[in-house]
Structure 1
Amino acid sequence: MTEGDGHEASTRSFLACAIEVARLLGLGDAADVPDDRRARHLAGAVRKPLLERAGLAEEFFDPLMTAAVYDPDPSFCRRFVEPALYAFGRRRVMTALLGYLRTGTTAERAGARRAWYCAHLPLRADRSPAYAPSGSRDPALDEADDMVDQWLESSSAQQRARSASEGQEQA
């Protein structure tokens, strides 16, 4: 598989993820948009409706996380991570990303690293109705210090394994 083929497969996977999130929201699949811009168009179309909801059904969680991980652009995976943070909490989002880091394919691990950055976004009561009317929410949803520690441990272990593997190849 050439690098171009890998990018095309990644784009198709991201498109499938974006279509699934749009379907859950009851939006169309943007079939009239050219294929090379369709996933990005859908990602833009779902952000506002996701953030405007006071909550999201459980069925949204996995598609949001998958779309965030498969989004090839680190600037735009926020469109999926941010609504998940508000609806499901930082701890759960980070747990899912840690799972991708530990057991995902090479592409999924790279996507998890991109999405991890967005998982640290500050949450504001005026940004989403997922906060209670008082402007607060259960702090346990966002308690994630131990998740950060686990992320760092897993990242370090993977880096050591890569270094060891590269050392063996050079020998």
Structure 2
Amino acid sequence: MSEGDRHEASTRTFLACAAEMARLLDLEAAADVPEDQLARHLALAARKPLLERASLPEEFFDPLMAAAVYDPDPSHCRWFVEPALYAFGRRRVMAALLGYLRTGTTAEKAGAHRAWYCAHLPLRADRSPAYAPSGSRNPALDEADDVKDQWMELSIAQQREQCLKEPNQP
């Protein structure tokens, strides 16, 4: 598969993820949006409603993680990671990204690395109604030191493996 084919397949996959988020949120696609901009349009339309909810149904978790991983723009994968952090907790989000790193395709592993950065966003009570009126939330949702350790171990092992496959050339 050529680089262009991989990019086109990745774009189609991101479009499917963004369309699924729009479906879950009952958002309508604008008919006048060009096809090459439709995925970003749907992602942008989903961003605010996702952050405005105090909680998200379980059925949102996997599509949020897929959209974050398949989003080709490292700046925009945050649009899916952030609401997942508030609704499902840092631990669960990081564990899902670790799963992509363990068993994903090369593209999914790269997407997991992009999303991992966003999974460290500071959570603020004034940013999401997912916090109790007192400004608190269950701290167990965000305890993820063991997942972070597993990520580092696996990431280093995969980098080492890649270096052995492709030795430095002068």
TM-score using structure 2 length = 0.96
- Contact 1:31/1:38, CA 8 A, preserved across alignment: no
| Aligned twin of 2:155 | 155
Residues of 2 paired with 1:45 and 1:12: CA distance? 18
Deviation at 1:33, TM superposition (A): 1.1
Question: What is the CA deviation profile of residues 119-153 of structure 1, one whole-angstrom value per residue up to 9, with x for unaligned ones?
Answer: 00000001010011110100000011111111100
What 5-or-longer segments of structure 1 have no aligned partner?
A: none
Residues of 2 paired with 1:160 and 1:30: CA distance? 46
| Aligned twin of 1:141 | 141
Residues of 2 paired with 1:17 and 1:49: CA distance? 16
Deviation at 1:66, TM superposition (A): 0.1
Report the residue type matching 1:76 in the other structure. H
Runs of 4+ in 1 over 4 A off after TM superposition: none
Aligned CA RMSD, in angstroms, stands at: 1.3
Residues of 2 paired with 1:87 and 1:31: CA distance? 31
| Aligned twin of 2:17 | 17
Percent of aligned pairs with the same residue?
A: 80
| Aligned twin of 2:60 | 60
Report the residue type matching 1:103 in the other structure. T
TM-score using structure 1 length = 0.95
- Contact 1:23/1:29, CA 8 A, preserved across alignment: no
Residues of 2 paired with 1:155 and 1:49: CA distance? 33
Residues of 1 paired with 2:156 and 2:29: CA distance? 40
Deviation at 1:31, TM superposition (A): 4.2
How many residues end up aligned between the 2 structures? 169
Report the residue type matching 1:6 in the other structure. R
| Aligned twin of 1:124 | 124
What 5-or-longer segments of structure 2 have no aligned partner?
A: none
Deviation at 1:88, TM superposition (A): 0.1
| Aligned twin of 2:92 | 92
